Amino acid sequence: MNIILFNLAEVELPLACQDPRSQHLLQVLRRKVGDSFDCGLINGARGRGTIVAIGVATLTLSFIWLEPPPPLSPIHLLIGLPRPPTARNILREATSLGVTAMHFMRTERGEASYASSTLWQNEAWRECLLHGAAQAFCTRLPEISHGHSLMTALAALPGGCTRLALDNYESPSALATHPLPAAQPIALALGAERGWTTAERNLLRAADFTLVNLGARVLRTETACLAAITLIKARCGWL
CATH number at residue 179: 3.40.1280.10
Residue 135 burial class via C-beta count within 10 angstroms: exposed 0-12, middle 13-18, buried 19 and up? middle
* Spatial contact of 105 and 148, defined as CB atoms under 8 Å apart: yes
- 200-205, Cβ contacts within 8 angstroms, sequence gap of 24 or more: 200/107, 200/108, 200/150, 201/165, 201/167, 201/170, 203/150, 203/151, 203/154, 204/150, 204/154, 204/163, 204/165
Residues 42 and 80 in one domain: no
d(CA 151, CA 62): 47
pLDDT digits (tens, 9 = 90+) for 112-160: 999 999 999 888 999 999 999 999 999 999 999 999 999 999 999 998 9
Residues 182 and 158 in one domain: yes
Q: How far from 21 is each of 2, 31, 63, CA to CA, in Å?
A: 11, 12, 15
Last residue of a domain, one of 65, 83, 113: 65
CA angle at 143 for the pair 107 and 206, rounded to the nearest 5° = 40
Residue 181 binned pLDDT confidence (cut-offs 50, 70, 90): confident
Last residue of a domain, one of 65, 99, 117: 65
Tell which wins on pLDDT, 7 or 122.
7
Give me the pLDDT at residue 183, please. 84
Residues 56 and 168 in one domain: no
Tally of domains in the chain: 2
pLDDT digits (tens, 9 = 90+) for 42-83: 999 999 999 999 999 999 999 999 999 999 999 999 999 999
- pTM for this structure? 0.94
Residues 77 and 140 in one domain: yes
Percent of the chain, pLDDT > 90? 90
Identify which of 100, 32, 38, 27 has the alpha carbon closest to the alpha carbon of residue 65.
38
Residues 79 and 48 in one domain: no
Residues 54 and 89 in one domain: no
d(CA 52, CA 61): 5
Domain of 161, in residue numbers: 73-236
Mean pLDDT of the chain: 95
Give me the pLDDT at residue 85, please. 96
174 forms beta bridges with 213
| Mean pLDDT, range 32-46, rounded to an integer | 98
Residues 10 and 83 in one domain: no
